């Protein structure tokens, strides 16, 4: 299975930052030092600009969210067909920051995933427990609830990516241990079998949560870890590329 290294730029940077970062990634891509599939998800205002900068490279473009409807009176939202129209092939859905900041539920995330699939996008469905939930021994229960509630059942496995991002490791510098990652990813794989059948073996499961050049190789070598969803380190072209080379 080809690894996917996805960069989530979140709400960072202005026009010149986006241009410089995209140009730096395209230059590194030209060196052909990574066999992984590469993806960047810039802020919405810069999707078109980044698409232009990356033209001719192997780097795919993705959105950071989409609405569950294909069109309509939803001020401030972006529809999946719009993302597809501007050149996106992926979209991140159900990220813990969306769930926390905007109160997104599993049902809403599943609706967005269904809309993304209908538009021809690959949804990256995010799941992850808080520190309080992990300390209470509820991590696997939380993951099970989110996977079962957020992933559309019966979908084609090759059109799905799941990302495990323990909330307590996002942007904190803390990283789940390899044993923690393997335990959760193995459980996600088991749950996916019940949702998409034996094709679940071809679903890529990414790890996210303070992934950096110095820990990427160890994390990416673990069982059922098929790539990484990278936050802060994706804002530096060299760091993102070092993670990609680790795959």
Dihedral sign from CA coordinates of 56, 122, 69, 9:
negative
**H-only helix segments in 103-154:** 106-118, 131-135, 139-150
In Å, what is the CA distance from 115 to each residue of 4, 71, 119, 195?
22, 10, 6, 18
Q: Which residues of 64-78 are buried (b: 16+ CB within 10 A; e: fewer)?
A: bbbbbeeeeeeeeeb
The rounded mean pLDDT for the chain is 95
Apex 6 CA angle, 141 and 79, nearest 5: 85
Q: Which domain holds residue 25?
A: 7-33+47-58
In a domain, 244, yes or no: no
Q: Is 187 helix (H, G, I), strand (E, B) or coil?
A: helix
pLDDT in tens, 82-96: 999 999 999 999 999
Whole-angstrom distance, CA of residue 98 vs CA of residue 92: 10
Which of the residues 129, 133, 165, 187 is marked catalytic?
165
How distant, in Å, are the alpha carbons of 122, 161, 224 from that of 196? 15, 12, 16
Closest C-alpha to 154, from 113, 105, 96, 184: 113
Q: What is the mean pLDDT of residues 188-209?
A: 93
141 within domain boundaries: no
Q: Is the pLDDT assigned to residue 230 strictly greater than 90?
A: yes
Q: Is residue 204 assigned to a domain? A: no
Task: State the pLDDT confidence band at 156, using cuts at 50, 70 and 90.
Answer: confident
Structure confidence by residue, pLDDT tens digits, 57-107: 999 999 999 999 999 999 999 999 999 999 999 999 999 999 999 999 999
Evaluate whether residue 21 is within a structural domain: yes
Least confident of 120-129, 182-191, 193-202, 217-226: 193-202
Residue 164 lies in a domain: no
Inside any domain, residue 213: no
pLDDT exceeds cutoff 80 at 1: yes
Number of domains observed in the structure of the chain: 1
Closest to 117 (Cα-Cα) out of 75, 163, 70, 71 = 70
State the burial class of residue 138 (Cβ atoms within 10 Å of its Cβ: 0-12, 13-18, 19+): middle
Question: Residue 131 catalytic?
Answer: no
Lowest mean pLDDT: which of 17-26, 27-36, 127-136? 27-36
Q: What is the DSSP letter of 71?
A: S
Q: Is 95 a catalytic residue?
A: yes
Global pTM reads 0.96
pLDDT band at 34 (very low <50, low <70, confident <90, very high): confident
> Quick check: is 51 in a domain?
yes
Classify residue 102: in a domain, yes or no.
Answer: no
* pLDDT at 176 (0 to 100): 85
The CA-atom distances, in angstroms, between 150 and each of 128, 146, 155, 199, 225 are 12, 6, 12, 18, 20
Is a pLDDT exceeding 80 seen at residue 55? Answer: yes
Q: Which residues contact 139 (CB under 8 A, 6 or more apart)?
A: 129, 133, 166, 184
Contact 150, 125 (CB under 8 A): yes
Q: Which of 95, 104, 185, 187 is catalytic?
A: 95
């Amino acid at each position: 299975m080809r690894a996917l290294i996805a960069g989530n730029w979140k709400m960072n940077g202005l026009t010149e930052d986006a241009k410089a970062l995209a140009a730096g990634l395209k230059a590194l891509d030209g060196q052909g030092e990574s066999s992984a599939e590469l993806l960047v998800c810039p802020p919405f205002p810069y999707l078109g600009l980044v698409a232009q900068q990356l033209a001719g490279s192997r780097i795919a473009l993705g959105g950071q969210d989409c609405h569950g409807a294909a069109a309509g009176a939803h001020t401030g939202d972006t529809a999946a067909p719009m993302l597809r129209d501007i050149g996106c092939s992926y979209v991140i859905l159900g990220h813990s920051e969306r769930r926390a900041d905007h109160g997104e539920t599993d049902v809403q995330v599943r609706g967005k995933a269904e809309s993304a699939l209908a538009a021809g996008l690959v949804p990256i469905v995010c799941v992850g427990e808080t520190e309080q939930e992990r300390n209470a021994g509820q991590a696997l229960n939380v993951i099970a609830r989110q996977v079962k509630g957020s992933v559309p059942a019966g979908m084609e496995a090759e059109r799905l990516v799941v990302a495990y991002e323990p909330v307590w490791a996002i942007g904190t510098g803390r990283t789940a241990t390899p044993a923690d990652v393997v335990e959760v990813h193995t459980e996600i794989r088991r749950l996916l079998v019940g949702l998409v059948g034996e094709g679940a073996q071809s679903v890529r499961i990414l790890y996210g949560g303070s992934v950096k050049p110095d820990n990427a190789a160890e994390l990416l070598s673990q069982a059922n870890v098929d790539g990484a969803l990278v936050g802060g380190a994706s804002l530096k072209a060299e760091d993102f590329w070092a993670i990609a080379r680790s795959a």
